[in-house]
Amino acid sequence: MKVNLAILLCGAAHKPYVEWFSEENGRVVLELKPEQVEVIGKPVPWQETEPISRKEQHENMARFLVGLCRDAARVNAKKSCSG
């Protein structure tokens, strides 16, 4: 399944959300409450960063998503083992 992902921290109503598009499901938006989001580290303004290629963006996102899935699987395994 091909997924294009954009993580957006704050919409017009100052509510955080995650948005992505996949060929299987189309556009998907996950709206969150501010207390459900934790910003780790200090965000870097886009003006202070060097642009990277689309390929590198995809590789970075793939590594992030693999780690996210691995962590979620660990949490689910612990829950199911503890009965």
Asked if residue 30 is part of any domain, the answer here is yes
Within this chain, do residues 1 and 28 fall inside the same structural domain, yes or no? yes
Q: Which residue has the tokens 């503890």?
A: 82
Please state the rounded mean pLDDT for residues 11-38.
Answer: 77
Within this chain, do residues 29 and 57 fall inside the same structural domain, yes or no? no
Overall number of domains in the chain? 2
Asked if residue 56 is part of any domain, the answer here is yes
Asked if residue 4 is part of any domain, the answer here is yes
Asked if residue 39 is part of any domain, the answer here is no
pTM: 0.44
Count CA atoms within 13 Å of residue 26 on its CB side. Answer: 0
Residue 11, domain extent = 1-34
What pLDDT sits at residue 55?
92
Q: How far is residue 16's CA from residue 65's CA, in Å, rounded to a whole number?
A: 19
30: exposed, middle or buried (Cβ count in 10 Å: 0-12, 13-18, 19+): exposed
pLDDT tens column, 55-77: 998 898 888 888 888 888 887 77
CA 1 to chain centre: 17
What pLDDT sits at residue 83?
57
